[in-house]
Amino acid sequence: MTCKYYDCGFCYAPEDAKNNSIQGGCFEPEYCATYLMQNKPMMTEKEHLECEIYELELEIKKHNEAIQNLNNIKERRTQKLKEMNNTQKNTNEATESNPQNNNWNYKVMMEKIHYPLLEVVDENTVKIEGVEYKKVEKPKPQTLYNAFCEDTAFTLSKKTACDIVRGWLIDHTVIETEDAEKVTFTIHKEQLQTPNETIKPMFLHFG
């Protein structure tokens, strides 16, 4: 036994070395990976070069095969593009050689296009195909301030305030996301505005 990690039946090989030790004891040393590597004859420089050359030849062969495959794909794509260009060229030549055919195609196309009859009555009213349409002003969204003014008097309980806010959020805002734990609302800035005029003080009582 010539393994440098063997001593009196025990294996002292480092953790990163492959070995057959069992609980520190040397087991079947003739099959131990560390022992076999230590006793494997070293390759000569000539053998190293031969192996490297062989590996490079394999790599070159793989690259040549890949390049050939790409060239084949390129040739097929080029041929298809050439056929498409020839087809387009023949079609254009046939159309240009027959102006009457061009006029007929234009006439058929124009007959298929239908422009609705539009009549402007005034700045707020138009008629389309005899049907009258009036401009409608988009209603302004209700503000939270107005919700309190409409639904409350001089006394206000905490529960009433919560009910007003909850109802206003549901009726006058947009629910973006909702799950079991939270609801995300989108509120216009103008919905949070309050009047600028002087307001007589109200005495609110929170029960």
Domain with 30 in it: 6-39
Higher pLDDT, 85 or 103: 85
Distance CA 167, CA 147 (A): 9
In a domain, 165, yes or no: yes
Q: What is the pLDDT of residue 198?
A: 53
Residue 143 · residue 191 · CB < 8 Å: yes
- Give the global pTM: 0.30
In a domain, 151, yes or no: yes
**Banded pLDDT at 86 (limits 50, 70, 90):** confident
Instruction: Determine the average pLDDT of the residues in 126-134.
Output: 79
**Banded pLDDT at 151 (limits 50, 70, 90):** low
In a domain, 128, yes or no: no
Instruction: Determine the average pLDDT of the residues in 123-152.
Output: 75
Domain count, the chain: 2
Distance CA 94, CA 101 (A): 9
pLDDT in tens, 31-56: 787 777 776 666 677 776 877 788 78
HEC secondary structure over 139-155: CCCCCHHHHHHHHCCCC
In a domain, 94, yes or no: no
Residue 181 · residue 172 · CB < 8 Å: no
